[in-house]
Structure 1
Amino acid sequence: MSDAGDFIDLALQRESSWGRAEESEARHGSGHGYYGASVGAVRGTVRDALRRYPDLTHDDITALSSELWQVAVFERRLAAVVLLQSSVRLLTNTDLTRIEGFVRSAQLSALVDPLATDVVGPLMAGLDVVGRVRADSVLDRWGRDPDGWLRRAAEMARRRPELDSDRP
């Protein structure tokens, strides 16, 4: 694991609570493991990691998000979402492939919804015309996919106000 990945994972484990882990599993189901770290702790950990590792490039951010996502622990995956939210200005339309994989494996609205509204939506809004056309074709494909989570993500990403403001 990378230094940044180790830092985030260990911090999340230190912030854990058996009680919160049990509550999270009861709320979200048993498809993921749970450390029991609060959402605030996840956000704070990612913020601290970005301060500790300020020179992370696009490739570093996307690799770190995949590293965190690789283990099916809710807080790690939420940290990947927060990392992408925090670094959305670095993302490009080609990152939609990685995000698609995240959405397909998430199976939870608590992960899919922020990916769609706080990562894909702002990513789309920041693209140039060519990137936007390519990204729109990806979202069109998502919208027709048999995977309901992917269709949900496409619909939610397109509801972003920033996306509607540049359309007639």
Structure 2
Amino acid sequence: MSEACEFVDDTLQRESTWERAMEFRERLGDGFKVYGASVGAVRGTIRDALKKYKDLGHDDITALSSELWADPVFERRLAAIVLLQTKVGILIPTDLTRLEGFLRQAGSHELADPLAVDVVKPLVAAFEGQARERALRVLDRWAADPDPWLRRAAETAAPPLD
């Protein structure tokens, strides 16, 4: 585990409460481990991590998001989304492949929806020219995929028809 990932994971565990963990378990079911950290704590942890690790570039950000996503812990996955949301401006078209994997593993609208709305949609909207055409082809493919989270993300992220 990278130093940045360890920082995020340790902080999320320190910010957790057993009461919130029980509430999350009831709401999310058995598909996730939960720490019991609030959404505010997740956001604050990512803010603090980005201050502490100021020199994280594109590859570092995407690697950290993958590290956080690797364990099926709800708060870690939410932290990956917040990280990507915060740094969406440095993401590139090929990052849609990583986001597709995250969506396939989301397992909950509480992860799939913010990933689609706060990461995929602004990412696709920022592309121009050939990059935009490629991204729209990816969304078309997602729209026809049997995975419900991909279809939902494609619908959410697709630009309005002119």
In structure 1, the residue matched to 2:130 is: 130
In structure 2, the residue matched to 1:27 is: 27
Shifted more, 122-131 versus 38-47: the winner is 122-131
Q: Across the two proteins, how many residue pairs are aligned to each other? A: 162
Q: Distance in 1 between matches of 2:117 and 2:20?
A: 26
In structure 2, the residue matched to 1:111 is: 111
Q: Normalised by the size of structure 1, how large is the TM-score?
A: 0.94
Q: Distance in 2 between matches of 1:149 and 1:116?
A: 9
In structure 2, the residue matched to 1:148 is: 148
Paired letter, 2:132 = R
Aligned: 1:66 with 2:75: no
Q: Distance in 2 between matches of 1:105 and 1:14?
A: 26
Q: Normalised by the size of structure 2, how large is the TM-score?
A: 0.97
Q: Distance in 2 between matches of 1:129 and 1:156?
A: 21
User: Alignment RMSD, CA only?
Assistant: 0.9
CA offsets 1:87-135 (integer angstroms, 9 cap, x no match): 0000011101000000001110010001101000100111121111000
Paired letter, 1:99 = L
Q: Distance in 2 between matches of 1:156 and 1:125?
A: 12
In structure 1, the residue matched to 2:86 is: 86
In structure 2, the residue matched to 1:8 is: 8
Q: Which runs of 5+ in 1 are unaligned?
A: none
Runs in 1 of length 4+ with deviation above 4 angstroms?
A: none
